[in-house]
Amino acid sequence: MAGSLPPVGVLALQGDFREHLAVLAGLGADARPIRRAEELAEVEGLVIPGGESTVMDKLSRAFGLAEPLIAAIGSGMPVYGTCAGLIMIADCVLDAIEGQQSLGGLDIAVRRNAFGSQLDSFETDLDVPALGDPPMHAVFIRAPIVERLGADVTALASLDDGRVVAVEQGAMIGTSFHPEMTGDTRFHEYFLDKVRGRA
């Protein structure tokens, strides 16, 4: 599989980027940590991990990465955002703190920490028809929720109460939860299929 995959990156400014790098490498990908614009230019897809969206936003601007990231997303680079990464690629962050910016590209509105604090973290099983059976065990940690979907956005998974927690739009995927923590690699495989398809 490695030979058929172009290099992919994981934004490595903050958060659980190491876990994503390990999952991608385990799937045979040439996975690289991305901290500088020149590193971003060498990959064909990008994972934006969970962490603190406000810190990630500030660091991406401090490292001169925000504009190159926006340009890469605009050019159609496949991007997969998990938890804080989903907030980073949302066009609208409903409860952003003052000065917080997102990279945009995904026509959704999200709410940060929609379930409360770290103490309100939880796990559940989700049906994800695009990934087939069995249901995916999902871990939610201070997770965002998708409150509005644009016309071109597809909901990939929802909670029992109907709240959307996984979406797709073209080459972009976003999940409120953390597949890198559970050993279920189907979302990462789905992302790599998009990278392979574009390459």
Which residues participate in catalysis according to the annotation?
Answer: 83, 178, 180
The token pair at 98 is 């003052």
What CA–CA distances, in Å, run from 149 to 85, 108, 145, 161? 17, 5, 11, 16
Q: Is 125 exposed, middle or buried (0-12, 13-18, 19+ CB in 10 A)?
A: exposed
* CA pair distance 138, 126, nearest whole angstrom: 7
* Backbone torsions φ then ψ of 84, nearest 5 degrees: -60, -30
The token pair at 74 is 């605009």
Q: Is 9 helix (H, G, I), strand (E, B) or coil?
A: strand
Number of other residues whose CB lies within 10 A of the CB of residue 133:
8
* CA pair distance 199, 113, nearest whole angstrom: 35
